[in-house]
Structure 1
Amino acid sequence: MPGVTNGAAVPPFAGAGNLIYRSAVVPRFVRGSGCFLEADDGRRYLDAEAANGTVALGYDASILQEAARRCLDLPALPSFCESPLRLGVLERLERLFSDVLGTPGRVELDLGGAQGMETALRIAFSANGPGTVVVFEGAFHGRSGITSMLSASPRYRELLAAWGLEVVRLPSPDCRTCPHAAASQDGCRTGCVGAVTRWGSELSGVGGPGFGRKASAFVFEAVQNVGGMVVPDPGLLRAAVAHARAQGAVVIADEIFTGMHRVGPRWGFELAGVEPDVVVTSKGLSNGGAALSAVWAREPLADADHYPPGSHSSTFVGIPHALAVVDTVLDRWEGWKSVRSDVAALAEGLRTRLTGLAADHPAVIDRVDATGGTARIVLSGPHAPRLRQLCATAHPDLGLLVAATGMAPDVINIHPPLVITPDELDRMTEVLDLALGVLDGERPHA
């Protein structure tokens, strides 16, 4: 469009607060295929963040084309109306959860991750009454008025927040920053377990089952993406879940990012062997082709007696296009028979390549980790925003898209489409090597 070029300031007709404009260089993408995007100036970018973890199956236009064919006879549906397509999708989604957890449940739909989290809280409050919500430090559960209260960074609450919601934060599950690390020989597990299981008493400030206002919900991420790709210690997470359930709280797993094999198993909570009461997922369901989230609640939390008709409504969650996209994507997941072993191979490929980069750039890389189709580079300082910029610009022919968050400015998150090939991982490593070299050269040296 006239007056808009790559690398220009925020266009005069665009809201400047959008996360798109956090960088000086803002490519305008016009097409995509596989793990690559192409900007309107012809530059190609390898997407190593999979549209923030959404495009697990890569940029595949045939998904939308097939979905469109599935809903040609019903392109729209009035609000509050049922359809065989919606019922079929609900039934398929329910099996994704109950097959793993071994217990039946019910599925509610919403538009996106934050909306799904709010629906999960509605279900929990319907069961327990409104009360305290317990989360971890370092958590990210959305930017809406409600979910910004659950998310760790105060930045998310500066403009809009539901101040009446009482939220209590347990100590961070990030072992690399844990204050108990030096005092224990078992990875700070003993001290941390005590720290996350002492609430629910007169002294803790959080009511347990014997109080009128108790903790209604405990919400956790199996891997804290925005918090710096933190994988909680399994023993710590199991203890926190068991304590929450003993206190009468509904246990909610936020699988918006980790769901559908992003971290290896179908659901991230399988890594620690915990069994939530409610699961919220979104990104892995539509491959970026539609706005939709799913909330599964074990019986009887979402039946008519606990969660009566009228407890939830959203204008667009029943539109055939979104449902057809999910139906099509679920076909792709069901057809990927070797997904567990393929994601395990991806984890090893990421780990091997990043370990090599750490050896080649010891002055700027402190450590690397990989879990399933996710990895992180922990830098020697708060250099992630600059490294993210260099990844997009340092290579003469290829840009690389990686993730960096304000909550973890020393961490680069890497989570490419799960279909990325070894050759594409080598290209990713090539760009990272160049960008890290530039970053090292920019740092002051003694």
Structure 2
Amino acid sequence: MSDLMGATQAGPLVPPFAGAGNLIYRAAAVPRFVRGAGCFLEGEDGRRYLDAEAANGTVAWGYDSSILQEAARRCFELPALPSFCESSLRLRVLERLERLFSDAIQAPGRVELDLGGAQGMETALRIAFSNNGPGTVVVFEGAFHGRSGVTSMLSSSPRYRELLAAWGLEVVRLPSPDCRTCPHSAASAGCGTGCVKAVSRWGSELSGVGGNGFGRKVSAFVFEAVQNVGGMVVPDPALLRAAVEHARSQGAVVIADEIFTGMHRVGPRWGFQLMGVEPDVVVTSKGLSNGGAALSAVWAREPLADPGNYAPGSHSSTYIGIPHALAVVDTVLDRWEAWKDVESDVAVLEREMRERLAELAERRPSVIDRVDATGGTARIVLSGPHAPRLRQLCTTVHPELGVLVASTGMAPDVINIHPPLVITGAELDGLAEVLDLALGALTAELSATAAAGARGSS
């Protein structure tokens, strides 16, 4: 085992040459991974880890090195290309991507490329602002759209804006679409009439937010079909439809953030198809390259991104034409096209995850409040803010197998589970086994803490 995997009482041992600001060093034990295959990663000490978060939802196809091998063959004679130069490979990828969007929305559009999700969101805002003029952006509470200077303003947690933010950007947040945290939620399931009205109030003299007829109006409404970082929250479709319809009636460009939910992560090709809405702009990333390249795609329905509304030079990035990344996407798109029954297979995965998590909830009622599954995603809602500790236990509690699950600071009581979509039933059994052991260990720790507190107060 690496000497850098231990920890002191002060926290993790971060190598003196490594920047510690990212998520790698948020835990005391930091494995170094050396290889991956299927749904598994292997540490340099030989320990295997079942990746039940699929590299944050990226590796839908698991760790498949043949994708990179095939991609390398497709760009072998053109390993690099200046960003201001065109190629047949880039045009083929753009055309294939455009069909994925326009087939679902039944409207033609144009595709821009960028490096990652946050950059793609910024490109989407450029398109909206080029058509509507710079203005207010409306999002939901609980949203996460990135950590860049601009997207940190859209994301809900104030932590993202403490060090760098585009303070000139006006952002308005609609009430949370999560009935667990919404102060307006009623005892009945789903969103009530008041909630629907609450997301449709802006644009009036009394709301403080401009709409049609105001010089300073809302330029864009941005939403996620499932709020991953917010705790795997599935908005009520009626609420989201009302928000989209109102935004469009006020002249705002409707932007769907499909960075996480796109390419069948939540069932259909796009998450917005679950909700019965049709956006004007769609941003996607994770499902396009299986983690093999940094690339995002931004689709905008005509004429939002035509040269008359979004002039050449409005956007540029050095690496968006790099043949390697394009070849990876081209290869991954072949895989998606070959998966003929993907929606029904993801529905089976949803059912199997829900069944196993429901059994865990019955076994561990003291620490599990509820479980949910949507497509290739699931969540365990805990009885308290125990998700960070449970995530750590999942990597160590089993003698042979670690499991990687997700937790976020925005939802410390939720464990997010979104494995590769190719995960098997036997692998789900292994996931459930480790989760059960980790939940048992968590229960014991909480009981010991409560007992110690009782003794101290007596």
Q: TM-score, normalised by structure 1?
A: 0.98
Residue 434 of structure 1 and its aligned partner are, at CA, apart by: 0.1
* Equivalent in the alignment of 1:50: 54
Distance 2:59 2:156 in 1: 25
The gaps in structure 1 that reach 5 residues or longer are none
CA distance in 1, matches of 2:428, 2:374: 15
Helix, strand or coil: the match of 1:176? coil
Task: Confirm or deny that 1:153 pairs with 2:145.
Answer: no
| Aligned counterparts of 2:217 and 2:16: Cα–Cα separation in 1 | 49
Q: Provide the rounded CA distance (Å) in 2 between the counterparts of 1:364 and 1:50.
A: 25
2:176 counterpart of 1:164: no
Unaligned runs of 5+ in 2: 452-458
State the Cα distance separating 1:2 from its structure 2 match.
8.4
2:14 to 10, 27, 39: 10
TM-score normalised over the length of structure 2: 0.96
Where does 1:134-213 land on structure 2 (aligned, <5 Å)?
Answer: 134-182=138-186, 185=188, 187-213=190-216
Asked if the contact 2:2–2:45 (Cα under 8 Å) also holds between the matched residues in 1, the reply is no
Percent identity, aligned pairs only, is 83
| 2:383 paired residue among 380, 385, 400 | 380
Report the Cα offset of residue 4 of structure 1: 3.3
Specify the alignment match of 1:228 in structure 2: 231
Equivalent residue runs for 1:54-203 within 5 Å: 54-182=58-186, 185=188, 187-203=190-206
Aligned mates of 2:121, 2:204 — CA distance in 1: 27
Q: Distance in 1 between matches of 2:322 and 2:173?
A: 37
Q: Tell me if structure 1 keeps the 8 A contact 2:111–2:300.
A: yes
Deviation at 1:190, TM superposition (A): 1.1
Q: Tell whether 2:369 aligns with 1:366.
A: yes
Question: Partners of 2:359 and 2:97 in 1: how far apart?
Answer: 40
Displacement, 1:202?
1.2
2:444 is matched with which residue? 441
SS at match of 1:20: helix
Q: CA deviation at 1:186?
A: 5.6
Residue 191 of structure 1: CA displacement?
A: 1.5
Q: Aligned equivalents of 2:67 and 2:423: distance in 1? A: 18
Assess if the C-alpha contact under 8 Å between 1:219 and 1:253 holds in 2. Answer: yes
Which whole-Å CA distance do the structure 1 matches of 2:150 and 2:24 have between them? Answer: 23
Are 2:22 and 1:28 equivalent residues in the alignment? no
Counterpart of 1:133, as a letter, is V
| Alignment of 1:39 onto 2:43 | yes
**Aligned-residue RMSD, C-alpha:** 1.2
Check conservation: 1:45, 1:392, Cα contact below 8 A: yes
Q: CA deviation at 1:5?
A: 3.9
Tell me the amino acid that sits aligned with residue 155 of structure 1.
R
Give the 3-state SS of the residue equivalent to 2:208 in structure 1.
Answer: coil
- How far 1:6 moved relative to its partner? 5.7
Look up the equivalent residue of 1:315 and give its one-letter code: T
Which secondary structure does the structure 1 equivalent of 2:311 belong to? coil
CA distance in 2, matches of 1:155, 1:422: 38
Letter in 2 for 1:304: P
Q: Is the 8 A contact 1:4 1:11 kept in 2?
A: yes
Residues 16-56 of structure 1, C-alpha deviations (whole Å, 9 max, x = no match)? 11111001111100000000000000000000000000000
- 1:241-280 to structure 2, matched below 5 A, reads 241-280=244-283
Partner of 1:309: 312
**Which deviates further from its counterpart, 281-290 or 185-194?**
185-194
For residue 201 of structure 1, report the CA deviation from its aligned partner: 1.0
Give 1:63 shift: 0.2
Q: Amino acid of the residue matched to residue 198 of structure 1? A: R
Q: Counterparts of 2:221 and 2:81 in 1: how far apart (Å)?
A: 35
- CA deviations over 1:124-179 (Å, ceiling 9, x no partner): 00010000000000000000000000000000000000000000000000012222
1:6–1:27 CA contact under 8 A, matched in 2: no
* Cα 1:293–1:406 shift into 2, 3 Å: same
Query: Which amino acid is the alignment partner of residue 431 of structure 2?
Result: M
Q: 1:128 to 1:319 in 2, by over 3 A?
A: same
Distance in 1 (CA, whole Å) between partners of 2:351 and 2:21 is 38
Q: What is the count of residue pairs matched by the alignment?
A: 445
Instruction: Provide the residue aligned with 2:456 in structure 1.
Output: none
